[in-house]
Amino acid sequence: MIASDGNASGGPKAARVPALNYADIGKLPSIVLLHSFPADGRIWAGVAGILSQSFRVVTPNLHGFGKNPPASKVSIAEMAADVAGLIHELGIGPCAIAGLSMGGYVAQQIARDHAAVIDRLILVDTKAAADNTAGRDARDATAALAIEHGSAAVFERMLPMLLGPDASPAVVEAARAIAQSQSPLTIAAASRAMRDREDFSAFLPSLTIPVHLIFGEYDATMPPDAARALQATLPSATLAFIGGAGHLSPLEKPADVAAAISSALISTLT
């Protein structure tokens, strides 16, 4: 089935659930891919295209991002509730959820607050810990930068930390185009949402569903040591590194990330 760029709010019945713009391709079993900051579902496009040969793949644009109306205020909990609502609306739960960086914060919130919709958690280039004081201050600076100088300024400030050594000019341009198309209002709101997100370090080890970790070998934001430290708290979690990739591994190495997700999903299919 292919139904790209749908919207869960279509029709009177659907109007009762949160409106969330999304793309939906492939066949069951299902996986939902949650994007990073400041981006939208397109960051997963290459991975989604490959995975859709074996899975139904839904790539929502989180609150305010992509084709959703801009958001002046949002929380990670609200983003999670939106995605849980979309999974209910599509009737695909419980399903696998993979979250890239900010999408990983949302995925963990879903696992905590909407456990019925998720049966496998895949964390990509992300972390469980909340921000410290310096991190929280940096979120406010990012929000101010977005409002005062726009989305492009936020992307250019983040760029040195985003990509691995193999990233081609085309990958840089793709990341830039996606980031620059996001609303500055939403970028500011999402930055504050990340500032205020919960710490899932104590919660994650209590999860009974399979957890898989996938990290870019050269992720400067969530480096390999942090990945190994996270895995050490989760005795049954698998950990895969994506060779040559940085923080945006799904955009940089879609075939390798799709293979890592596929093998994680297949290993837990009964």
Please select the residue that binds ligand MLT; options are 9, 181, 201, 221, rule is CB under 6 A: 221
CB of 66 to ligand MLT, least distance (A): 14
Instruction: Answer for the pair 237, 213: CB distance below 8 angstroms, yes or no.
Output: yes
> Which position among 30, 61, 75, 101 is part of the footprint of ligand MLT (CB under 6 A)?
101
Q: Which of residues 145-204 bind ligand MLT (CB under 6 A)?
A: 194
CB-nearest residue to ligand MLT: 101
Instruction: Supply the DSSP symbol for 139.
Output: H
Closest contact distance (angstroms) between CB of 54 and ligand MLT is: 26
Q: How far apart are the first and last CA of the chain?
A: 23
Closest distance to ligand MLT from the beta carbon of 219 (Å): 10
Task: Closer to ligand MLT by CB, 56 or 197: give it.
Answer: 197
Cβ at position 247, least distance to ligand MLT in Å: 6
Q: How far apart are CA 252 and CA 17, in angstroms?
A: 34
How far apart CA 59 and CA 103 sit, in angstroms, is 11
CA angle 72, 77, 82 (to 5 degrees): 80
- In whole angstroms, give the CA distance from residue 64 to residue 186: 5
To the nearest 10 degrees (0 to 180), the angle between helices 169-180 and 151-158 is 140
Q: Which of residues 21-60 bind ligand MLT (CB under 6 A)?
A: 36-37
Chain residues that interact with ligand MLT, rule: CB under 6 A:
36-37, 101-102, 194, 221, 247
